[in-house]
């Protein structure tokens, strides 16, 4: 059997909606005389709060080497499938030959990206970061697909606390010297 809830009857003021109208007018008058908060964009830029998730970019280590090793974890974890990676081989005579592979192509479709930050969290090499850039525009859909060179241009170089390639290279050279 259903449970019936009895409604209390509305008062005369509630039936005329006067309390609601006066509440709305109070808010309007308060905002009418408060100081203006309009920014003259792009001359004035808003302050970016800490933890802001902006455009995903690729970064290089302090020696200018690619940190991305084409593990494709960011591509697999991306909910809208905005990331596309084509892994490529590294030549044996390259300075980073001890790394298994590097991205031949790395594309992020900014029209699909939802700025969730999962790509940054899952990256084991700390090669992808969300930058503070928030004004991204283009004249066509193709302009909003960031390719590998554009991603490195936006990301630049970040300090690397791991120096993994330097340690591996030093260990390889020490091993060769013993033999």
Q: Enumerate the domain spans of the chain.
A: 56-162
* pLDDT for res 64: 81
Burial letters for 39-54: b for 16+ Cβ neighbours within 10 Å, e otherwise?
eeeeeeeeeeeeeeeb
> What topology is assigned to 56-162 in CATH?
Alpha-Beta Plaits (3.30.70)
Give pLDDT tens digits for 49-60. Answer: 888 888 999 998
Question: Three-state SS for 159?
Answer: coil
Q: What are phi and psi of 107, to 5 degrees?
A: -125, 135
Q: What are phi and psi of 83, to 5 degrees?
A: -105, 135
List C-alpha distances in Å: 85 to 88, 91, 92, 101, 102. 9, 19, 22, 12, 10
* pLDDT for res 177: 65
pTM: 0.68
Rounded Cα distance, 67 and 126, in Å: 7
């Amino acid at each position: 059997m259903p449970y019936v809830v009895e409604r209390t009857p509305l008062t005369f003021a509630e039936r005329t909606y006067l309390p609601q109208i006066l509440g709305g007018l109070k808010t309007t008058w308060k905002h009418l005389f408060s100081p203006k908060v309009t920014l003259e964009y792009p001359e004035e830029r808003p302050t970016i709060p800490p933890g802001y998730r902006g455009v995903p970019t690729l970064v290089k280590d302090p020696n200018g080497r690619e940190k991305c090793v084409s593990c494709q974890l960011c591509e697999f974890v991306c909910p809208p499938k905005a990331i596309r990676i084509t892994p490529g081989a590294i030549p044996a005579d390259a300075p980073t030959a001890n790394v298994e592979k590097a991205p031949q192509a790395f594309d992020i479709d900014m029209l699909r990206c939802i700025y969730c930050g999962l790509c940054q969290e899952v990256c084991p090499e700390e090669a992808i970061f969300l930058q503070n850039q928030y004004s991204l525009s283009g004249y066509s859909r193709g302009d909003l697909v960031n390719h590998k060179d554009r991603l490195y241009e936006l990301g630049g170089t970040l300090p690397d606390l791991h120096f993994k390639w330097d340690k591996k290279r030093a260990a390889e050279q020490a091993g060769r010297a013993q033999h």
